[in-house]
Amino acid sequence: MTHFLDIHKTDAGELRRMLDHAAAMKTARAGRPKGMPDDESPLAGRMVALIFEKPSTRTRVSFDVGVRQMGGQTMVLSGNDMQLGHGETIADTARVLSRYVDMIMIRTFEETTLQEMADHATVPVINGLTNRTHPCQIMADILTIEEHRGPVAGKKVVWCGDGNNVCASFLHAAGQFGFDMVFTGPPTLDPEAEFIEGARAKGVSVEIERDPIRAVADADVVVADTWVSMHDSQTTKERRHNQLRAYQVNTDLMARAKPDALFMHCLPAHRGEEVTSEVMDGPNSVIFDEAENRLHAQKAIMRWCLGV
């Protein structure tokens, strides 16, 4: 079964073919109304279940639109609809859904939920996000970098802030695509050592630099993400702000990177917290290209999973 669970679990050559396919599909849609189907209908007659234990804007809309553009249909299910693992096991849910649909995308909390779904489904499963990784976002990010700056191999990407699930998938991508990374943030929020060592084992440089000014020197790409989750308590939010305030991406920090360094953020952003509006709306920002490219990258991922 061809699942898309994490970037480091997928062959690097297959990842490259997905991105090339995504770029080609994006070019083919240029100037076309958003609701008009693609010239091909590779998902015609296919039903895709989109499961959301965690709320979403970009993931839900981009997957839904992508399936429809490729001629398929979607069934959107919330955590309340499913109550995954409460009563019926996740394994049994996977077996049942596999009798009804052709593919499952799940956006969930625990990585174990994703893995159990994949272990027992007889249709492809796609990781739409877990607390630990976010591979679809990073596929869109690599597509975006290469649109603007050419091949990502050999470039320097600097992550500012919290070594969270998006950062983890960036580290996976560094190893697979051959670019270097620097993490700058407080020690309490470092990425998991497993992810750092995994990238280094692939021959790329991964550094930890506490000084954000030194970290962004000669950076090709500067990346930030939200400091807090909607589920965090007020106390947790205040503690994180205190820890991360020094790592805000602002015009002064961007000025220390290369003059043409891209700024990236997977959105939603808290303007004035992890990044200023001047940077988000500035000439080096590609945040809305990233958001659009979720659509194209995920269409390529779905086609790869189904072999169409």
Instruction: State the catalytic residues.
Output: 107, 134, 137, 225, 266, 294
User: Any alpha helices (H) in 157-244, and if so which ranges?
Assistant: 165-177, 193-201, 212-215, 234-244
Q: CA–CA separation, 56 vs 204, rounded Å? A: 33
- How large is the greatest C-alpha to C-alpha distance in the chain, in angstroms? 55
CA dihedral of 181, 182, 188, 194, whole degrees rounded to 10: 30
Tell me if 50 sits within 8 A of 56, measured CB to CB.
no
Amino acid at 28: A
99-126 CB burial, b ≥16 within 10 A, e <16:
eebbbbbbbbbebebbbbbbebbebbbb
Sign of CA dihedral 6, 10, 16, 18: negative
